[in-house]
Homo-oligomer: A and B are copies of this chain.
Amino acid sequence: MDEKKEEIEKEENPIPEESEDSVGEEGVEVEKISTEELSSILASHNKEELARIFEEVPDIDIAEAADKLEVEELIRMFRDVPSEMTANVFDELAQDTKENLIKAMTDKELVKLLNEQYADDLADTVGDMPANLASRVLKNASKDMREDLNELLKYKKDTAGAIMTTEYLEFRESTKVEDTIDLIRKKGRDAETVYTIFVRDNKRKFVGTVDLDDLIFAEKDQTLSDIMNVDIPNVHANTDKEEVANLFRRYDLNAIAVLNDDDCLIGIVTIDDAVDVMTQESTEDIEKMNAVTPIDDSYLETHPFTMAKKCVPWIVVLLILGTFSSMVLSQFQDKIAALSILSAFIPVLMDTGGNAGGQTIALVIRGLALKEFNPRQTAKILWQEFRSSLIIAFFISLFAVLWFTLEQMFGIVSNPQIFTGQLAIKYGVSEGTIGTIFNGLIWNWDWFSPTLRVSFVVAGTLFIAVVVSKMFAVLLPMGAAAIKKDPAIVSQPVLTTIVDVTSLLIYFGIAELLLLNPPWGGGLI
């Protein structure tokens, strides 16, 4: 955006309703534009105004307005505005808009357009194109560009090779500082960044980078090897792009070198591409953690049927997994029938177990994603989580005993008249008077008090369920990472299913022991 500009007019116009997903309402005064405004300017053939727009409105905002234009308007826009101005706007357009535009363009216009593009962005676009369009683009691209594109298109998705650009500045380490600056003036315009200059030795091997500011601060007669940084990381073309993003995050890089197996520079990744990767990876993790197959387009652009395709499979899988909890419950149907108060606590049991595990699984998955720790540390994490889970389980079940007892005393869940029979016999009174005795039982902590016993059963189950659930929540993602699978796919719902079964088994096990027929007698059924 280095267009000339005679005087400055800063307009403070509010963001028009049309640009609904406009960011930065607060404190941002950059001019926005709506599809309507844009198309009316195009209709009026007012090239000056159009040029002004392209100078003063950010490319992405123009692009978003342009996405909703008719193809005729679109093609006119690209004809009325010099191609060096439209270059970035084209890059920001939606994929299908780009394709329609290219379809409508003459070869001559296409050549002009392509020459202004960066190879890596264009490669992404071409990669998603139907074959016939893609070949048309390659046909009209300059020889160098075509080579760059073919180079970039051959790398596996999600690798450094796929997101790198081949337009960078590389100089010999023996180059003098002043010569470098001249070279940058000459060649710099085509490079994606001039802030980081890459340095190679006589054997063409990559040896380091020079920051533009160091170049400016350096003495004219110094060589690049005098001032270059050697303490900066680099990656190979097959390095996972998430890995690349983590390096940017950790080392505050502006650009990183992508090397081939001979340690020669074959491309670079710049911070803006790394930021996109970070955002995308976080989104995908969040989606996977919630049993959604990652969605390529933005939410609003996703068609209901596509959405269904992304959502149904996992739910069905989990529904099938849910069979196990059904099995367990139907095994214990007689117990439930006999002591149906047990069923009242099933949801809270399963939810609490799931929530406790969900907390841990989220922390572990995120920690793995940000490389805070790695699968080799499973034992360490497991131990740390075990200690905290004991504390957490203790406080939760302590509260649970209290809460569940109150729930029963105040009849929020059915007060267990079912027991009155046994109580009447034990205390040799009529069932009518039991009600009064009943609460008394709680206060003098008669172990027979069914209310307390139910509370202890549920709270006890909670304690075990929380600890077990948090252990699973460490083991599942760590295990996935250990076998080089994406930890996020071991999503919370999967954990929930596992936890449901275990906590139900624990529940009925303890109920059997303490409520139904304790070894020391006094069973309730």
Contact B340 A326 (CB under 8 A): no
A 159-192 binary contact with B (CB < 8 Å = 1; else 0): 0100000000000010000000100110011000
**Chain B residues, Cβ within 8 Å of A400:** 319
Q: Top 4 A-B pairs ranked by shortest CB distance? A: A322-B348, A27-B236, A290-B362, A304-B388
Decide: A29 and B226 in contact? CB cutoff 8 A.
Answer: no
| Cα–Cα distance between A195 and B248 once the two chains are bound (Å) | 17
Copies in the complex: 2
Query: In which size bucket is the chain A interface?
Result: 35 or more
A392/B351 contact (C-beta < 8 A), A230-B10, A287-B363, A290-B361 known: no
For this complex, 11 residue pairs linking A to B, each with C-beta atoms less than 8 Å apart, are A20-B374, A26-B235, A58-B231, A249-B276, A290-B358, A291-B358, A299-B367, A308-B392, A312-B392, A329-B346, A329-B413
Q: Which of A31, A216, A298, A403 has the most CB of B within 10 A?
A: A216
The complex places the Cα of A413 from the Cα of B278 at a distance, in Å, of 46
- A406 → chain B closest CB, angstroms: 10
Question: What residues on B are CB-neighbors of A194 within 8 Å?
Answer: 212-213, 216
1/0 contact string of A249-263 vs chain B (CB within 8 Å)? 111101000010000
Measured CB to CB, the closest approach of chain B to A328, in angstroms, equals 9
Across the interface, do A407 and B24 meet the contact criterion of CB distance under 8 Å?
no
Among A1-9, A141-149, A443-451, the stretch that binds chain B is: A1-9
**Measured CA separation A356–B504 after assembly (Å):** 22
Which B residues are CB-close (under 8 A) to A414?
A: 330, 333
Q: Tell me whether B314 and A355 are in contact (CB under 8 A).
A: yes
Contacts of A207 in B (CB 8 A): 8, 10
Query: A493 interface residue, CB < 8 Å from B?
Result: yes
A356/B311 in contact, CB under 8 A: yes
Q: A305-B391, A355-B493 are in contact. Are A376 and B413 (CB under 8 A)?
A: no
The 0/1 profile, CB within 8 Å of B marked 1, for residues 397-437 of chain A is: 00110010001000011100000000000000000000000
Contact at B259–A208, with CB atoms within 8 Å? no
Contact B185 A216 (CB under 8 A): yes
User: Which of these, B2, B300, B346, B384, contacts A227 with CB under 8 Å?
Assistant: B2
Given contacts A56-B231, A272-B252, A326-B347, contact A403 B320 (CB under 8 A): yes
From B230, B247, B323, B359, give the contact of A311 (CB < 8 A): B359
Q: Name A279's contact: one of B1, B251, B254, B370 (CB within 8 Å).
A: B370
Give me 20 other A-B pairs in contact (C-beta within 8 A), A24-B233, A308-B391 excluded.
Answer: A5-B225, A5-B228, A7-B225, A28-B235, A30-B233, A181-B216, A188-B217, A194-B216, A279-B370, A287-B366, A304-B391, A311-B359, A311-B392, A316-B395, A316-B396, A319-B351, A320-B403, A322-B347, A343-B346, A346-B346
Nearest-neighbour CB distance to chain B for A236, whole angstroms, equals 3
Chain B residues near A140 (CB, 8 Å)?
A: none
Interface status of A455 (Cβ within 8 A of chain B) = no
